[in-house]
Amino acid sequence: MPSPDRNLRAVNLPADWAPQSWRNRTAMQLPQYPDAAALESALAELRDLPPLVTSWEILSLKQQLAEAQEGKRFLLQGGDCAESFSACNSGVISNRLKVLLQMSLVLVHGMRKPVVRVGRFAGQYAKPRSTDTETIGEVTLPSYRGDMVNAPEFTAAARAPDPRRMIKAHARSAMTMNFVRALIDGGFADLHHPEYWNLSWVGHSELAEEYRRMVTAIGDAVRFMETLSGAEVHNLNRVDFYTSHEALLLPYEESLTRQVPRHWGWFNLSTHYPWIGMRTAAVDGAHAEYFRGIRNPIALKVGPSVTPDQLLRTIDLLNPEDEPGRLTFIHRMGASGIAEKLPPLLDAVRRDGRRVLWVCDPMHGNTESTSNGYKTRRFRNIRSELEQSFELHAAAGTRLGGVHLELTGEDVTECLGGARELTESDLERAYMSTVDPRLNYEQALEIAMLIVRKQAQ
Ligand code: PEP
Ligand code: MN
């Protein structure tokens, strides 16, 4: 097999960078571990454990993202806000995979272009928080920062950061990865058998009916092509699936940053496609320093306070050689702010001739709290931000190349509205997220159908 390296322009490794050079910068959002020796022993163990992904896979994803930058592919990235150790089970993993496969089928069919499939899973265990502590009554404790750091229960023992949790997160990520790979290799993602992806509890949905009609049409087209060519249509029985997570907990990421025999440079081998969250995106911060030196394709969340100048400086730092596929900007402005905030950023990057993949996260700028105390998002705001994104990119002469969503294959009631018009009183029925509200199966499929309609305009 030819090395995917040959397809990409060689770029220089920053000379003054090392996997630990982020330690000389200000690091936001990291827990304070009370026991330095316990931390060091957990990191030493991690450094010795096998990686979760390979450099070959990482470089082939980078190639696919380069094609998405040129409009030849569309990126679908989705999964939980926060994975939890207790939800590392076959039902949750396969249902999430089913939703993502169904959405990608809708997108492939409607957009007539291949989809790059990326999960927010197998490592999405560390969370940034807006406050370091949480107070209930008289008691103040450290905030919950994801299962990789501490536990959500409101007790001092649960909230104490425990470095052994990094080892457990690595193991759960490996189990998730292993199951996803086995399902895909075993034919679960075979386009000849999309019936494998039906989620039993949605048989009655109107969207499921529209989806089934689409599946029949695709099945007919596949059989027709196979009859014509007398051979199986290439690549239909196997799809690529990549992983991503917010690379927040830098000690963990550093311990899985490795060199490999056949490719030069350093790779983060805990995931294919790490991203920098909005709260840790400072251009002179520790996270940007860490990301600068790894060869993975990387993404950065771009919120409403980012200026065009900051964005250009970020590109200078993270992709100085304008390498194809290297850099993704995930904008998350909110439905009411995007029309004002996004165009100046698009203009600045376009005028400068910089190569980035633009992706819309219509979730994180639209979070609100209900009167009955739930953190939620309204489907109509999510939809509006996505629709405006397509329009604003078209007006700016740039291209929206993908979407980043928080979703689950479970029958949850966390976001309001959508086909079933969930209301505030529905939220208590099945609100399961430990952090942010996710689209349920129907709402996720509706978003995929909406993207297709928007693209066709
Ligand atoms: C997230 O993706 O879960 C998240 C915290 O996003 P952001 O950094 O955009 O707020
Ligand atoms: Mn989130």
Ligand (nearest to CA of 246): 1
State whether residue 187 is helix, strand or coil.
coil
Q: What percent of the chain is predicted at pLDDT more than 90?
A: 73
- Give the pLDDT of residue 372: 84
Gap between the Cα atoms of 18 and 24, Å rounded: 11
Tokens of 233: 């249509």
Ligand nearest to the Cα of 124, by number? 1
ipTM for the whole complex: 0.99
Instruction: Please work out whether the CB of residue 364 comes within 6 Å of at least one atom of ligand 1.
Output: yes
pLDDT at position 234: 47
Structure pTM?
0.93
Q: What is the mean pLDDT of residues 108-119?
A: 91
Structure tokens at 347: 């203009």
Cα gap 224→203, rounded to integer Å: 28
Would you say residue 8 has pLDDT above 70?
no
For ligand 1, whether the C-beta of 146 sits within 6 Å is no
* pLDDT at 2 exceeding the cut of 60: no
Over the stretch 175-207, which tens digit does the pLDDT of each residue have?
A: 999 999 999 888 777 766 766 666 665 666 667
Q: What does the block give as tokens for 147?
A: 């299962």
DSSP state of 243: E
Distance of alpha carbon 276 from alpha carbon 288, whole angstroms? 8
Give yes or no for residue 128 CB within 6 A of ligand 1.
yes
Q: Give SS3 for 431.
A: coil
What number does the ligand 1 atom closest to the CA of 280 have? 8
- Average per-residue pLDDT for the chain: 90
**Residue indicated by tokens 């989806």:** 211
pLDDT, average across residues 397-406:
97
Q: In whole angstroms, what is the distance from residue 97 CA to residue 81 CA? A: 15
Name the more confident of 106 and 398: 398
pLDDT at 233 over 80: no
Q: What is the pLDDT of residues 87-101, one digit of tens each?
A: 999 999 999 998 998
Residues 166/148, Cβ–Cβ less than 8 Å: yes
DSSP secondary structure, 3-63, as one string: -GGGGS---PPPTT--TTGGGGS---S----S-HHHHHHHHHHHHHSPPSS-HHHHHHHHH
Centroid of chain to Cα 417: 23
Mean pLDDT of 322-337: 98
- pLDDT given for residue 6 in this prediction: 44
Distance 129 CA to ligand 2 centre (A): 10
Phi, psi of 452 (to 5 degrees): -65, -45
Spacing, Cα 63 to ligand 2 middle (Å): 27
**Per-residue pLDDT averaged across 133-152, rounded?**
97
Q: How confident is the model at residue 232 (pLDDT cuts 50, 70, 90)?
A: low
In this model, does residue 365 exceed pLDDT 90?
Answer: yes
E-strand stretches of 290-371: 298-302, 327-331, 357-360, 367-369
Distance 405 CA to ligand 2 centre (A): 9
432 vs 272, higher pLDDT: 272
Helices 338-351 and 308-318, packing angle to 10 deg: 50
Ligand 1 pocket: which of 278, 300, 404 to mutate (most atoms within 8 A of CB): 278
* % of the chain beyond a pLDDT of 70: 89
- 58 and 267 in contact (C-beta within 8 Å)? yes
Q: Cα Rg for the chain, rounded, in angstroms?
A: 21
Under the banding of pLDDT at 50, 70 and 90, the label for residue 454 is confident
pLDDT of residue 4: 46
pLDDT at 185: 84
Task: Give backbone dihedrals phi and psi of 402, rounded to 5 degrees, phi first.
Answer: 175, 175
Q: For residue range 379-400, what is the model confidence (pLDDT) as tens digits?
A: 999 999 999 999 999 999 999 9
What is the model's pLDDT at position 228?
A: 62
